[in-house]
């Protein structure tokens, strides 16, 4: 029993991050300058910029009700004007992942060993969502549509001589 149950090594890393800042854009050349039409800032027209922030209907193509951003809080700037928002004024969802590893070296002979290793990223398979669509002219504006990868596991066996 000692041969199988002893000398295991466990490692782990917990990554925790707050939501990243991103910019809400108007999606049109409201400034009428012919430059950067897709990156011109939108206007903030209400204080409550965040929606209900739920993630229950991510797979629906229409009729969705989960919005990270409140569409009523943003508007298109007047023609010939720039929007009043600045870069990085809203924040996406935060995320966390637990990565872990388990390994053990088994001695075969004096100068020969076999190492078994199992590693996993996001071992708890926690959903970590990316920023929502920030273009106010897009029908999916304010909606989260993508996430970071789920659990990934890998196993290895190494012969040392």
d(CA 136, CA 55): 20
| Domain housing 66 | 2-160
The mean pLDDT of 44-62, rounded to a whole number, is: 81
Calculate what percentage of the chain has a pLDDT beyond 90. 58
pLDDT tens figures, 100-137: 999 999 888 889 999 999 999 999 999 999 999 999 99
Res 5 pLDDT > 80? no
pLDDT tens figures, 65-89: 888 999 999 999 998 888 899 889 9
- Ramachandran region of residue 30, left (φ > 0), alpha (ψ -120 to 50) or beta? alpha
Q: Give the sign of the dihedral formed by CA 145, CA 58, CA 136, CA 87.
A: negative
Domain count of the chain? Answer: 1
């Amino acid at each position: 029993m000692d041969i199988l149950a002893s000398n295991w090594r466990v490692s782990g890393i917990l990554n925790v991050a707050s939501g990243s800042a991103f910019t809400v854009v108007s999606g049109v050349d409201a400034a009428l300058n012919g430059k950067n039409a897709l990156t011109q800032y939108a206007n903030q027209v209400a204080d409550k910029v965040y929606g209900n922030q739920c993630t229950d209907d991510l797979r629906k193509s229409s009729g969705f009700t989960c919005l990270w951003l409140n569409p009523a809080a943003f508007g298109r700037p007047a023609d010939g004007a720039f929007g009043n928002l600045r870069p990085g004024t809203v924040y996406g969802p935060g995320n966390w992942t637990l990565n872990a590893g388990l390994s053990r070296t088994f001695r075969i002979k004096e100068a020969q060993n076999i190492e078994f290793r199992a590693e996993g990223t996001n071992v708890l398979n926690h959903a970590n969502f990316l920023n929502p669509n920030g273009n106010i002219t897009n029908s999916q504006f304010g909606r989260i549509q993508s996430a970071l990868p789920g659990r990934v596991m890998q196993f290895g066996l190494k012969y040392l001589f």
